C-alpha cells in the first residue's frame, strides 16, 4: 500500500516543487523587470536634469548677450528660460528624493520660472528689462553655472562608478543618513550651496507671489487669551466667554495664533475657531455638527450667509460663486468698496443645507488683504471696454472689479459675465488700456450671472 501511495505522491510532490520553483523564478524576473524599469526612469530624469541645467545656463547667457533694446529676443529668451526651468522642476520630482526634499533648489527654480514668465508676458516695448532685472539675470547666470557644474560632476561619478538610483531609494527608506552615498551627498551639497546664496532681487511681483503671510503683515498689538475669548464669544453670540477654551500656537514664531473651542451640543464635536495673535482677527471657524438631508434652496442659504456675515462685521460682501457638495454648500464672497468688487478680499462661507445655517468660515485672504484702497476712475467706458470682447460673447452682467493679474499687480477691470460656446465665463478687461487681464470659466452656472 505504501508503495502505491508513494508512487502517486512522489510525482505530485515533484510537480509541486517544480511549479513553486518556476513561480519563484517568474516572480523574481518580474521584480527585476520592475526594478530595471524604475532604475532606467531615474537615470533618464537625472541625466535630463543635468542637461537642462546646462541648457538653462546657456540660455541665460544668450539673453544677456544681446543688446538691452532687443525686446523680441529678450522675450524669446525669457520664454525659453521659463520652459527649461519648468522641465527641470518636473525632472526633480521624478527622482526618488521625496524623503530628502531639495527645498532650496526647488524654491530657487520656482523663483527663476516666475521671474522669467512675468518678464516675458509683459509688453517689453513699453516696459523693457530694468537695470535691476538685468542684474538679476547676471546673478542667475552665475548661479546656474555652479549648479550645472555640480550636477555634471555627479553625472560623471554616476557613469564612471556605475551607481544605481535604486540604492539611493533603499538608503532613504532605511534612513541610512550616515552611509556614504555619492548621489545623496551630491544633492545635499547642491541644496546647501543654494541655501547659502545671497538674497536675489526678484522684483516686487515675484516676491509678492512667494511672500508668506505672517503676523508682521497685520496692524495692531498682540492679543491676550482673554481678548480671544471675548472675540469668540461675540462671534458665536455667547453671553459667557468663560466657557471658551483658548490655546496659543507657534509661540515665538512669525505664525503665532490662538485656537479657541467651545463644547457643542451633546454628542457633537466642539465648535472651533482660529485667530491671529495680532488683533485678534478671525482666520477660520468650524462647527462640525451633524447635517441632515437638504431642505433649503441655495438662494435661502445665501441670504442666511449674507446676514451671518453682516452681523459679524463683514457688511459689504457679495456672493460670486456657489459650490454645492451633498448637503452642504460653499459660498465665495468678495468685499465691495463703493461699486467695485475687491477680489483679493475674499472669504468662503460653508452652509448646512438642512436649515441654511452657516457652519464654517475661511477668512484668511480677507484678513491679510483687507484695507481701504484708493481706486482710480476707469479711463475707458463700459462700452469702450466691451468692444474688446469676442463679438460672439453674450454679456449678461457687468461689474467693476479689482483683481490681481498674472504679475500679481492689482488692476481695476470691467468684469463681464456671459456665455460663449455653450459655456459661461467671466472676462476681466483692464479699465485703463482694454487688455484682457483674466478669463475664468464658470462651471455649473445657471446663466443668471450669479450662481
Residues 93-104 pLDDT 10s: 887 765 555 777
N-terminal to C-terminal alpha carbon distance within the chain: 85
Same domain? For 30 and 100 the reply is yes
- pTM of this structure: 0.66
pLDDT in tens, the chain (451 residues): 555 555 555 566 666 665 565 556 555 555 666 667 777 788 888 888 888 889 988 989 888 888 777 888 888 888 888 889 888 888 888 877 655 557 778 888 888 888 888 888 777 888 888 888 888 889 888 888 888 888 888 888 777 777 777 776 666 666 554 445 677 777 888 888 787 777 777 665 555 554 555 555 666 778 899 999 999 999 999 988 888 999 988 776 667 888 999 987 777 888 999 998 888 989 999 998 889 999 999 999 999 999 999 999 998 899 999 999 889 999 999 999 999 999 999 999 999 999 999 999 999 889 888 989 999 899 999 999 999 999 999 999 999 999 998 777 899 999 999 999 889 999 999 999 999 999 998 875 443 434 4
Same domain? For 198 and 330 the reply is no
Extract the C-alpha cell encoding 9.
Answer: 505522491
- For the chain, what is the domain count? 3
2 vs 298: CA distance, rounded Å? 82
330 vs 284: CA distance, rounded Å? 14
Task: Give the DSSP per-residue string, 292-359.
Answer: -S--S-HHHHHHHHHHHHHHTT--SEEEEEEEEETTEEEEEEEEEETTEEEEEEEEEEEEETTT--EE
Same domain? For 94 and 174 the reply is yes
- Asked if residue 218 belongs to a domain, the reply is no
- Asked if residue 273 belongs to a domain, the reply is yes
- Asked if residue 118 belongs to a domain, the reply is yes
Task: Give the DSSP per-residue string, 108-157.
Answer: HHHHHHHHHHHHHHS-TTTSPPPHHHHHHHHHHHHHHHHHHHHHHHHHHH
Residue located via cell numbers 488692476: 411
pLDDT at residue 339, as a whole number: 93
Same domain? For 412 and 296 the reply is no
- pLDDT, one tens digit per residue, over 298-321 is 999 999 999 999 999 998 899 999
Structural domain ending residue among the three candidates 338, 369, 400: 369
- Asked if residue 375 belongs to a domain, the reply is no
- Asked if residue 448 belongs to a domain, the reply is no
212 vs 368: CA distance, rounded Å? 11
Same domain? For 310 and 390 the reply is no
Same domain? For 64 and 115 the reply is yes
Structural domain ending residue among the three candidates 163, 183, 210: 210
Which residues span the domain enclosing 416?
382-441
Same domain? For 93 and 155 the reply is yes
- Asked if residue 6 belongs to a domain, the reply is no
How does strand 271-276 pair with strand 282-287?
antiparallel
Extract the C-alpha cell encoding 339.
Answer: 461699486
- Asked if residue 265 belongs to a domain, the reply is yes
- Distance (Å) of CA 74 to CA 66, 129, 167, 204, 409: 8, 8, 43, 20, 22
Same domain? For 393 and 429 the reply is yes
Same domain? For 206 and 229 the reply is no
442 vs 426: CA distance, rounded Å? 7
How does strand 340-352 pair with strand 358-362?
antiparallel
Whether residue 103 is preceded by a cis peptide bond, meaning omega within 30 degrees of 0, is no
Structural domain ending residue among the three candidates 342, 369, 396: 369
- Asked if residue 7 belongs to a domain, the reply is no
Same domain? For 257 and 203 the reply is no
Same domain? For 393 and 355 the reply is no
Same domain? For 248 and 158 the reply is no
Amino acid at each position: 500500500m505504501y508503495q502505491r501511495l508513494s508512487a502517486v505522491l512522489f510525482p505530485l510532490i515533484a510537480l509541486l516543487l517544480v511549479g513553486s520553483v518556476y513561480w519563484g523564478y517568474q516572480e523574481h524576473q518580474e521584480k527585476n523587470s520592475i526594478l530595471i524599469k524604475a532604475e532606467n526612469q531615474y537615470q533618464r530624469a537625472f541625466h535630463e536634469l543635468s542637461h537642462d541645467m546646462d541648457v538653462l545656463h546657456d540660455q541665460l547667457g544668450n539673453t544677456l548677450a544681446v543688446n538691452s533694446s532687443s525686446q523680441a529676443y529678450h522675450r524669446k529668451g525669457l520664454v525659453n528660460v521659463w520652459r527649461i526651468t519648468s522641465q527641470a522642476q518636473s525632472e526633480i520630482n521624478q527622482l526618488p528624493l521625496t524623503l530628502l526634499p531639495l527645498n532650496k533648489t526647488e524654491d530657487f527654480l520656482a523663483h527663476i520660472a516666475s521671474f522669467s514668465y512675468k518678464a516675458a508676458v509683459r509688453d517689453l516695448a513699453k516696459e523693457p528689462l530694468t537695470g535691476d532685472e538685468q542684474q538679476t539675470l547676471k546673478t542667475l547666470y552665475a548661479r546656474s553655472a555652479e549648479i550645472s557644474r555640480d550636477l555634471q560632476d555627479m553625472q560623471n561619478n554616476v557613469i564612471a562608478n556605475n551607481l544605481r538610483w535604486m540604492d539611493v531609494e533603499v538608503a532613504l527608506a532605511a534612513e541610512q543618513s550616515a552611509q556614504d552615498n555619492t548621489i545623496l551627498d551630491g544633492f545635499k551639497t547642491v541644496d546647501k550651496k543654494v541655501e547659502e546664496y545671497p538674497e536675489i532681487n526678484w522684483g516686487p511681483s515675484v516676491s509678492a507671489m512667494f511672500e508668506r503671510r505672517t503676523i508682521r503683515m497685520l496692524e495692531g498689538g498682540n492679543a491676550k487669551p482673554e481678548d480671544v475669548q471675548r472675540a469668540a464669544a461675540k462671534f458665536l453670540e455667547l453671553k459667557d466667554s468663560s466657557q471658551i477654551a483658548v490655546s496659543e500656537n507657534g509661540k515665538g514664531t512669525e505664525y503665532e495664533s490662538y485656537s479657541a473651542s467651545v463644547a457643542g451640543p451633546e454628542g457633537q464635536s466642539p465648535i472651533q475657531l482660529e485667530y491671529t495673535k495680532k488683533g485678534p482677527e478671525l482666520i477660520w471657524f468650524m462647527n462640525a455638527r451633524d447635517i441632515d438631508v437638504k431642505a433649503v434652496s441655495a438662494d435661502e442659504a445665501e441670504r442666511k450667509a449674507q446676514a451671518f456675515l453682516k452681523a459679524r462685521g463683514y457688511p459689504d460682501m457679495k456672493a460670486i460663486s456657489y459650490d454645492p457638495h451633498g448637503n452642504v454648500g460653499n459660498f465665495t464672497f468678495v468685499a465691495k468698496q463703493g461699486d467695485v468688487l475687491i477680489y483679493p478680499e475674499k472669504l468662503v462661507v460653508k452652509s448646512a443645507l438642512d436649515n441654511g445655517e452657516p457652519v464654517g468660515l475661511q477668512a484668511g485672504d480677507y484678513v491679510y488683504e483687507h484695507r481701504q484702497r484708493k481706486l482710480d476712475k476707469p479711463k475707458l467706458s463700459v462700452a469702450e471696454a466691451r468692444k474688446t470682447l469676442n463679438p460672439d460673447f453674450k454679456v449678461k452682467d457687468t461689474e467693476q472689479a479689482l483683481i490681481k493679474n498674472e504679475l500679481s499687480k492689482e488692476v481695476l477691470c470691467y468684469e463681464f459675465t456671459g456665455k460663449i460656446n455653450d459655456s459661461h465665463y467671466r472676462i476681466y478687461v483692464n479699465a485703463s488700456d482694454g487688455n484682457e487681464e483674466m478669463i475664468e470659466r464658470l462651471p455649473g452656472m445657471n446663466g443668471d450671472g450669479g450662481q
